[in-house]
Chain A
Amino acid sequence: MTVSYALLGLLEEADRHGYDLKQSYDRRFGAARPVRFGQIYRTLAQLTRDGRIEVTAVESGAGPDRKRYAITPEGVADLDAWLGEPAEPEPMLQSVLFTKVVLALLSGRPAATFLDAQRVKHLDAMRELTAERRRSPGTQAAMLADYRLFHIEADLRWIDHAEARLAALAEEVRDGTPADRG
C-alpha cells in the first residue's frame, strides 16, 4: 500500500527503471528494511494495470528491468488524494502488548513481570536508536530514527500507566465486568 505510493512519488520526480526505483526507495524510505525486487515488480505491474503508471520505453535485452516507467495523470491525482488524506491512527486495542497483559491477568500469570521485561526491551531499543541517530549524518536518517523513537516511547508510557493500574485491571479481567474507573 505505502510502497505503491512511494513508487508513484519517485516516478513523479522522474521516469525510472525498476532497478533504479528499488535503489531510490531503499535510500529514501527503506533504512533497516529494504524492499525486495519481487515486491517492486509486482507493484509496478499492478500500477500499470490500474493506469496509474505506464511503460515509456522497452530496451532490448533480458530480465525484467528493461522497462522504463512514467507516472500518468491518474497516478498524480491518486498520489495527491493519498497525501491529502490523514491516516487512521493505529487501533491500539489490537496490539500485542495489550493482549499479553490481559492474557497474563486472565491466566493468573505475573503481568507486572511481563511489563518489566517489556520495559527493559523498549528502553534498550530506544538507547540503540538514540545512539544511531546521534551518529547519523543527515536530517532524513535522524528523523526516521525519531519516528521510531516516538512510537516506542508511546508504548513505554502505556506500559508505565498499565503497571500503575494493574490491580484495577486484574479485578476487571477476573470478574469480566468493568471496574470503577477511579
Chain B
Amino acid sequence: MAPLLTGVDLHKAFGRTRALRGAGLTVAAGEIVAVIGPSGSGKSTLLRCLAAIIAPDAGEVRLDGRRIDDLPDRTRTGLRRSEFGFVFPFGQLVPELPAAENVALPLLLAGAPRRRSLAAARDWLTRLGLPDAADRRPADLSGGEAQRVALARALIARPRVVFADEPTGALDSVAADQVMDLLVDAARAQRTGVVLVTHEPRVSAYADRTVLVRDGAA
C-alpha cells in the first residue's frame, strides 16, 4: 500500500520536556493504525504533529508525499479542514448548535450550500443510528450519542485521514464497540486512513496495526 500519511523522525520539546524523540508513523488509505503507550509517552503529541496542529522541531510529515509540517499556519489550518477529520474524547461539539448543524459544520466551513449540507448531516446521523438526534443539542445527548455525532462530523467531508484521540475515553464498552464498529466500517468504505490513539486494548484491537510509543519514540 502506498503511504497516505507519513511522519518520520519527529522531535518535539515543550520547554525541558522532550515529548517526541524520533517518533514515526505511516498510514495508508483505508488503513487503521492504533497508537498505544504509557501515559505521557507522547501519543497525543505525535497525533498533533501528524495532523499539522503543531509543528515538530525536527523531522517531517508528508501527505501524499508532500511536506505539510513546514507550511504556514493559515495553509495548515485550511489543510486540516479539507483533508482531515478529528474525534476527541468529549467536549468537541458546539453546545449552542443542534446535532445536525454540528455534523454539517465541515461542509458549511468549506462553503457548501446550507440546505444540502444539513441534508447530508441528517443522512449521516441516520447511518450512525441517530435519526432522532438531529434537532437535539449536545447537552441533550448521551455520551455515546454525542460521540457518534462527533464521528459523523469527522467523516462527513470525506477526509483523507481521521485523527481520533481516545475517541471512546468517556464511554462504556458497549457504546465504545458501537463507535468503533462505525468508525472502522466508514474508514474502509471511503478509504480514509485512521490514526487512533487509545489506552484501551479492546479499542486498539480494531486497528490493522498497532504502534507502541515509549518515551517519545515509536
Task: State whether these chains interact.
Answer: yes
Contact surface of A with B, Cβ cutoff 8 Å: 119, 122-123, 126-127, 129-130, 134, 149-150, 152-153, 156-157, 160, 164
Interface residue? B210 (CB, 8 A): yes
B66 at the A interface (CB under 8 A): no
- Whether A160 and B202, one on each chain, are in contact in the complex, defined by CB atoms closer than 8 angstroms, is no
Indicate if the CB atoms of B201 and A156 lie closer than 8 Å. yes
Report if B147 contacts A (CB, 8 A): no
Most buried by A among B38, B184, B205, B210: B205
**What 7 additional pairs, Cβ within 8 angstroms, besides A126-B205, A160-B38?**
A123-B201, A126-B202, A127-B205, A127-B210, A129-B205, A153-B201, A156-B201
16 A–B contacts, CB within 8 A, in A order: A123-B210, A126-B201, A126-B204, A127-B210, A129-B205, A130-B205, A130-B206, A134-B184, A149-B202, A149-B205, A152-B201, A153-B202, A156-B201, A157-B201, A160-B38, A164-B38
Which residues of chain B are near A156, meaning CB under 8 Å? 201
- In the complex, chain B residues whose CB is within 8 Å of the CB of A134: 181, 184
- Docked CA distance A149–B200 (Å): 12
Which A residues are in CB contact (< 8 Å) with B205?
123, 126-127, 129-130, 149
Give Cα A157–Cα B201 distance, bound, in whole angstroms.
8
Most buried by A among B184, B200, B204: B204
Complex CA distance for A123 and B201, rounded to whole angstroms: 7
Complex Cα distance, B210 from A157, in Å, reads 16
How many chain B residues sit at the interface, stated as a range, is 10 to 19
Which of A123, A129, A164 has the most chain B CB atoms inside 10 A of its CB? Answer: A123
Query: For the complex, what is the distance from the CA of A126 to the CA of B180, rounded to whole Å?
Result: 14
**Most central of A129, A130, A134, A157 by chain B CB within 10 Å:** A130
User: B184's closest neighbor in chain A, by CB?
Assistant: A134
Residues of A within 8 A of B201 (CB): 122-123, 126, 152-153, 156-157
- Determine chain B's interface SS by DSSP, over half rule: mixed
What residues on A are CB-neighbors of B204 within 8 Å?
123, 126
Residues of B bordering A, CB below 8 Å: 38, 181, 184, 200-202, 204-207, 210, 212
B207 touches A127 (CB 8 A): yes
CA distance A170 to B204 in the complex (A): 30
B contact residues around A127 at 8 Å (CB): 205, 207, 210
CA–CA, A134 and B200, complex, Å: 18
A134 to B202, CA, bound (A): 13
**What separation, in Å, do the CA atoms of A119 and B212 have in the docked complex?**
10
A149–B177 Cα distance when bound, in Å, is 12
Measured CB to CB, the closest approach of chain B to A147, in angstroms, equals 12
Q: How many Å lie between the Cα of A122 and that of B212 in the bound state?
A: 14
B207 — which chain A residues lie within 8 A by C-beta? Answer: 127
Chain A's nearest CB lies how many Å from the CB of B40? Answer: 11
Give A159's nearest chain B residue, CB to CB: B201
Q: Which residue of B lies closest to A125 (CB)?
A: B205
* Contacting residues, chain A, for B202 (C-beta < 8 A): 126, 130, 149-150, 153
CB distance from A158 to the nearest CB of B (A): 11
When distances are taken between beta carbons in the complex, the residues of chain A under 8 Å from B212 are 119
Set of chain B residues within 8 Å of A160, measured between Cβ atoms: 38
State A156–B184 Cα separation when bound (angstroms): 23
In whole angstroms, how far apart are the Cα atoms of A153 and B205 in the complex?
10
B173 to chain A, nearest CB (A): 8
Q: Whose C-beta in chain A lies nearest to the C-beta of B210?
A: A123
Which A residue's beta carbon lies closest to that of B208? A127
Chain A residue at minimal CB-CB distance from B37: A160
Closest to A149 in B: B202
Closest to A156 in B: B201
